[in-house]
Structures are given as C-alpha cells and as structure tokens.
Amino acid sequence: MNQFKQMFMAQLKLTFREKQSWFWGIFFPVILMVIFMSIFSGRSDTDFSASVVIVDENPNPTSTMLLEKIKHIPVFEIEYEDPVSRDKAEQLVRDQEVDAAIILPESIDASALHLVVNKEDEQGVTAQALSGMLSQFVQQANLSAAGITPTYELQIETISTGNTELQYTDFLLTGMIALSIAQGGMFGMVGLVEMGRKGLIKRLRMTPANMNYFGLSDMIMRVLFSVVQILLLSLIGVFIFGANLFINLPSLLIVFLLGTLSFTAMGYFISSFSNTTEAYMGVANISNFLMMFLSGVFFPVETMPEWIQPISNVLPLTYFVEGLRESMVYETSILSTDLWIGISIMVLWGVCTFVLGSLLYKRKSIVAVR
C-alpha cells in the first residue's frame, strides 16, 4: 500500500507538470465551448431575419402590389424606406452590406421577381432561406392572382427525443465534455515518453517497484483528471450558458469510466512508438483534429456528407460523444442495446490499442536488454 501511495503521488506530480495535458484537456475545450456557445446560445428559428433592399425602377400596379405584400413579411428587414436603383442595390449586395436585393417586375405584364445575393454567400443559410421564402411568396401571389383560395396549409411542430425541448447548448456541452476527456487521455501520456527517453522506466524496472502499481496509479490519476474535466465543463455549461442536463447516473458512470480508460489506452499506444515528445504530440494532434471534426462534437454526424459518415462511424470519439449525450441529456437507461453497441466499439478501440502498446513496450524492453 505504501508503494502504491508513493507511485500515486509521483503520478500526481507528473500530471501537474504536464502543461500539454492541462492545455488540451482543460483550457482548449473550455475556450472552444465558450466560443461556440457564445455564438449559438439563445438562438432559435424565430430569431431569423435578413436585411434586404427593394428595387422598383419602373413602378406599376404589379410591382406596387408585390411591394406592399413584401413589406408585411416579418423576417425581411428593409434597409431603405423607398426602393433604390438596381446599380445601388447590386453594390450593396456586392459589399455585403445587405443580405439580398429583391427586384420587382418592371411592367404590369412581367412575371419575374428577381432575388440578387452575393455569390460568396449563395450556399449560405440566409440565402437559401430567402430563396425558399420568396418561392413560397410567389406561389401564394400566383394563387391570389388566379382567384384561388388555398385549401391546405402546413403547420410545423417539433418533438424531442428527450423529456424536454433541447437546445444546441445541450448538444455542444456533451460533445465538448467527451472531447476534453478524449484529449486528456491521448495527450496525457507525454510524461511517459519523457520517462522512456531519459531511461527512467528502464531504471524503474530494475528496482523492487511493482510495475502493476505504477500502471494502476496512472490509470486512477487519469480518471480523477477526467472527473475534473466533466465537472468543470458541466458547471460552465449549466450556470453560464443555461444548458440543460438530464442525467441517468448508472449510464453516465459506465460511459465515463470506460471512455476515460479507452482513450488513456490510445495515449498509451501512441507513447509506445514515440521516441520524442515532438513525435508524440504530432501523432496525438493528428488523431485529435481528425476526431474533433468528424465525431459529432459540434454538429450531428447525420448532417455530414455521405462519403464522410462511414469514417465517422468507425472513430471511437463518435461513440463516446453519443454515449455521454445519451446518458447526460436523453436519460438513456443502462439497459439500452444501442448504448452498449456504442460502448462496445469504443472499448474495442481501447483494448486493441492497449494490447498493441503493451507489445511495443515489451519489444522495446527486450531490445534494450540485448
């Protein structure tokens, strides 16, 4: 017990000295979460608006009628009280001072209503929304001109998988917690690389110290570090950004513990073939950024291009993110089959990388003895 205590204290000191682990495990996720939540928190579909200008160079009964109807569309913020010239409107769009310009028909017989948007923003959300709204507006105008009264209307309702209506902040918070724990595991073994480079591990093997205690103390230290991460990010998300958490504690404990151990095993594997800190950080950074943007941390995997989704579906962070989201937001039971399928894939990654890392470390020991 005394030997384990000494090794645990040594691991604690090593952890506090690992500046990279603190940055990637604590400060970087906090910075990212604050940035994204500051941008997206509190936004809803009813908050959408677009600044537009109207072009009516040749007023006529048709353009006057359309102009009056457009003025009553609440999401349109018309920048000028009176219509402007086409040249001025195009310049405003080109300079991105307005989102779009609406050009009314130039004669009573003209049938075209033009929407001018900046080409750089053509595929953006605002341009697409404006196009859809004007298309619907034109259809209603056609029905009105034909004297047809609409029979059917579309009423949109939303439901949530969880018990209450979810927000993007809830989605992002759980993703950032998963990311921070994964980064803590993958970047947390940099101290082991330094120990190997300086020959400290070799010397430790030559002492009566039990290496199993060394591994156990490191594992417990990683779990405690992850506890700090999940508590800190949860407090920031809930009390500063108003995120909602509906936790199923048994599910959360299982996902959290197995996820922490799995990503620690991945960091152990990376350290097994890294001879320098620079090499270790390079491989860890590549793995981290690949998973950060392809594992559903910021946006659902389902919204990604179809050719990327198969890649996302084999990454361990995808299933860790989903597991935390299920247990912290949706209150998914520990008996859920889908939850255990995701956990199994994540644990498989952890087991495989741990076994490979152990084999590589063993091979290094044999080579060193020879």
Each residue's pLDDT expressed in tens, for the chain with a length of 370 residues:
676 676 667 667 766 666 666 776 678 788 888 887 777 665 554 556 788 999 988 888 888 888 888 888 888 888 888 888 989 988 988 888 888 888 888 887 777 788 888 887 777 767 777 788 788 777 777 777 777 766 666 555 555 555 555 677 888 899 989 998 998 888 877 777 777 777 766 776 666 666 666 666 777 877 888 888 899 889 988 898 888 888 999 999 999 999 999 998 898 899 888 888 888 889 988 998 899 889 988 888 888 888 888 999 999 999 999 999 999 988 889 999 999 999 999 999 999 998 998 888 777 655 554 4
How far is Cα 355 from Cα 257, in angstroms, rounded to an integer? 19
CB contact at 8 A, 98 and 79: yes
CB 83 within 8 A of CB 130: no
Q: How far apart are CA 53 and CA 91, in angstroms?
A: 11
Sequence-ordered list of residues with C-beta below 8 angstroms from that of 277, at least 6 positions apart, any chain: 190, 193, 194, 197
Q: How many CB atoms lie within 10 A of CB 312?
A: 18
State the DSSP code for 298. S
The pLDDT of residue 304 is: 83
User: 156 phi and psi, to 5 degrees?
Assistant: -100, 130
pTM across the whole model: 0.70
DSSP β-ladder status, 100-103 and 114-117: antiparallel
Distance from C-alpha of 54 to C-alpha of 314, rounded to nearest angstrom: 50
If phi over 0 gives left and psi between -120 and 50 gives alpha, with beta otherwise, what is residue 63? alpha
Give the model's pLDDT for residue 255: 95
The gap between the terminal CA atoms of the chain, to the nearest Å, is 33
- According to the model, what pLDDT value does residue 346 have? 95
Burial class (CB in 10 A: 0-12, 13-18, 19+), 71: exposed
Cα dihedral angle (253, 356, 313, 241), rounded to 10 degrees?
A: 40
Q: Using alpha carbons only, what angle is made at residue 318 by residues 314 and 319, rounded to the nearest 5 degrees?
A: 90
How far is 135 from 127, CA to CA, in rounded Å? 12
The type of residue at 92 is L
According to the model, what pLDDT value does residue 220 have?
Answer: 80
What pLDDT shows up at residue 45? 47
Domains and CATH numbers, the chain: 2-41+167-369 (no CATH), 45-145 (3.40.190)
